[in-house]
């Protein structure tokens, strides 16, 4: 029996947010380009604007891993300044009434909770962005717990997973994410990892690969499909 089978059906599913539930790529590249240009003009620094691929490559990373790649080598330590310029632009975008969740995510989350499966979020963002996702995209009401880097007792994504287990009391836990930090956090706890397939990384030793269809995930987790 595989590790994933031993955790199915789960009593807790932990989801990463950006790139897993939320289609960040529908808006991120133009926002970061506009923010980099605004910061460069303000500071009088010559900065080459990122390509779409370069912009999307940082989604799911943590702190400096998100912001420093857009700055010249001699200015990378100033990533917090760039973040302070771009973050309000991000918050405004995800809070303006546009639904940026991937197709099927809302009914999937609702269905999981109707089945009695607890749902938690674990995101390498900070509290201001998480609040925008909770309220602007409705993830607060769709999930039981939401953890980020500013959550109590949290310094890493692995810490978020630990806190989710503590809050839920769950024994059969599955982590679903799209990037290496999600996989690393699941491995740190010895829990199965479902990789949401994408072109930004390759996780060959994921316990299962998910293409995004809600019913395929539900079926693999041993749960009833939507509409059943």
Same domain as 197, residue 147: yes
Mean pLDDT of 38-47: 97
Co-location of 49 and 141 in the same domain? no
Do 110 and 182 belong together in one domain?
yes
How many domains, in total, are found in the chain? Answer: 2
- DSSP H/E element including 118: strand 118-122
| 76, 8: one domain | no
Average of per-residue pLDDT across 38-63: 96
Average pLDDT, the chain: 97
Instruction: Please tell me whether residues 50 and 153 are part of one structural domain.
Output: no
User: 79-94 vs 127-136: helix axis angle to the nearest 10?
Assistant: 10
pLDDT digits (tens, 9 = 90+) for 112-159: 999 999 999 999 999 999 999 999 999 999 999 999 999 999 999 999
What is the enclosing helix (H) or strand (E) of 120?
strand 118-122
- Closest of 112, 86, 136 to residue 13, by C-alpha: 112
Q: Which of 35, 63, 94 is the last residue in one of the domains?
A: 94
Name the pTM for this structure.
0.96
CA distance 89 to 169: 37
Is residue 120 domain-shared with residue 140, that is, in the same domain?
Answer: yes
Residue span of the structural domain in which 72 resides: 25-94
Q: Do 179 and 152 reside in the same domain of the chain? A: yes
Q: Does 107 lie in the same domain as 201?
A: yes
- Give the whole-angstrom CA distance, residue 89 versus residue 78: 18
Residues 44, 72: contact at Cβ < 8 Å?
A: no
Residues 38 and 146 in one domain: no
Q: What is the Cα–Cα distance from 132 to 95, expressed in whole angstroms? A: 6
Which residue in 68, 88, 92 sits closest to 80, CA to CA? Answer: 68
Q: How wide is the angle at C-alpha 159 spanned by C-alphas 154 and 161, nearest 5°?
A: 125
């Amino acid at each position: 029996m595989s590790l994933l089978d031993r955790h199915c059906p789960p009593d807790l599913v932990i989801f990463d947010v950006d790139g897993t539930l939320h289609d960040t790529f529908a808006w991120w590249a133009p926002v970061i380009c506009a923010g980099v240009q605004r910061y460069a003009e303000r500071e009088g620094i010559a900065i080459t604007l990122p390509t779409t691929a370069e912009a999307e490559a940082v989604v799911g990373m943590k702190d400096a891993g998100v912001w420093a790649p857009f700055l010249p080598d001699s200015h990378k330590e100033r990533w917090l300044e760039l973040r302070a310029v771009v973050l309000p632009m991000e918050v405004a975008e995800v809070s303006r009434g546009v639904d940026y969740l991937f197709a099927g995510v809302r009914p999937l989350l609702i269905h999981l909770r109707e089945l009695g499966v607890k749902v938690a979020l674990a995101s390498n963002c900070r509290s201001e962005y998480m609040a925008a996702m909770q309220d602007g995209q409705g993830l607060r009401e769709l999930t039981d717990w939401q953890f980020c880097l500013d959550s109590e007792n949290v310094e890493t994504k692995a810490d978020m997973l630990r806190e989710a287990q503590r809050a839920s009391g769950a024994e059969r836990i599955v982590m679903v994410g799209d990037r290496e930090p999600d996989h690393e956090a699941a491995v740190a706890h010895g829990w199965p990892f479902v990789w949401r397939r994408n072109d930004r990384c390759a996780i060959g030793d994921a316990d299962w690969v998910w293409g995004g269809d809600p019913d395929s995930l539900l079926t693999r987790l041993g749960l009833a499909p939507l509409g059943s």
